[in-house]
Every structure is written in structure tokens, then in C-alpha cells.
Amino acid sequence: MRDWKLRLGALFRRGRAEADLDDELQFHLAMQTRKNRQTGMADSDAARLAGEQFGNLTYTRESCRDERGTRLLETIGQDIRYALRGFQRTPGFAITAVATIALGLGLNTAAFTAFNA
């Protein structure tokens, strides 16, 4: 149950979850930089090598986001918001599209009912 609470929290408070993720990634980079400095490297070399050892930050962020298990819901929400923005820009098209789908469903249902009887 706790796992679902964390996932829903990450879904509805996305800004906070992203900030936490960035903080954690920066912490790991700083720890790797510190380990490299302890071996006697210069600060700039230690930071550069830590970045190379850690890997691509963008890929790591995306992997962490995928592990949350909310990617599907986030994508659906983005698609719905995009569709609503598009419908607001062109309401005539939106009305035509909805009417066409409604008419097609109605005709299909009527034809199926008539042939099924």
C-alpha cells in the first residue's frame, strides 16, 4: 500500500518528485567526485571523471521515471491536455469529429441490432 501512495504522490506532485530525483543524482555525482579526489585527482578532473563514471544523466533520469510506474498515466494526461488545447483552438473541427464518431457508433449499433435480430 505504501508503494502506491508514493507512486500517486509522484504523479500528483511531479515537481517535488523531479526535485528529489535531481537532488539524489547530484548527491551521487558529488560522492563519486569526492571518491575521485581522495585518490589524488584535481577537482576538475575528479568532477569530469565522475560524470563519465556515472553515465548519461538524462538517460538515468528517464530510467528512474520509468521505475516509478506512472509513465502510462503521465502520458495519458499529457495526451488529454494536448487534445483539449487543440479543441479549444479549432472548436469547429472538434464538433465535427465528435459528431462523426457519434454518428458512426449509432449507425453501427443500429445495424448490428437489426442483423442480430
Please, are residues 53 and 30 in contact by the beta-carbon 8 Å criterion?
no
User: pLDDT of 19-44, one tens digit each?
Assistant: 888 888 889 888 988 988 888 888 88
Q: How far apart are CA 10 and CA 61, in angstroms?
A: 14
Tell me: do 63 and 74 sit in the same domain: no
The residues near 31 (Cβ < 8 Å, ≥ 6 apart) are: none
- CA-CA-CA-CA torsion for 98, 102, 103, 107, nearest 10 degrees? 160
Q: How far apart are CA 65 and CA 14, in angstroms?
A: 10
pLDDT at residue 9, as a whole number: 65
Tell me: do 32 and 9 sit in the same domain: yes
Tell me: do 58 and 97 sit in the same domain: no
Tell me: do 10 and 63 sit in the same domain: yes
pLDDT at residue 94, as a whole number: 87
pLDDT at residue 80, as a whole number: 93
Q: How far apart are CA 39 and CA 50, in angstroms?
A: 12
Tell me: do 7 and 21 sit in the same domain: yes
pLDDT at residue 92, as a whole number: 92
Domain count, the chain: 2
Tell me: do 52 and 107 sit in the same domain: no
Question: In which residue ranges of the chain is pLDDT below 70?
Answer: 1-13
Tell me: do 64 and 91 sit in the same domain: no
Q: Could you list the residue range(s) of the whole structural domain that residue 58 is in?
A: 1-69
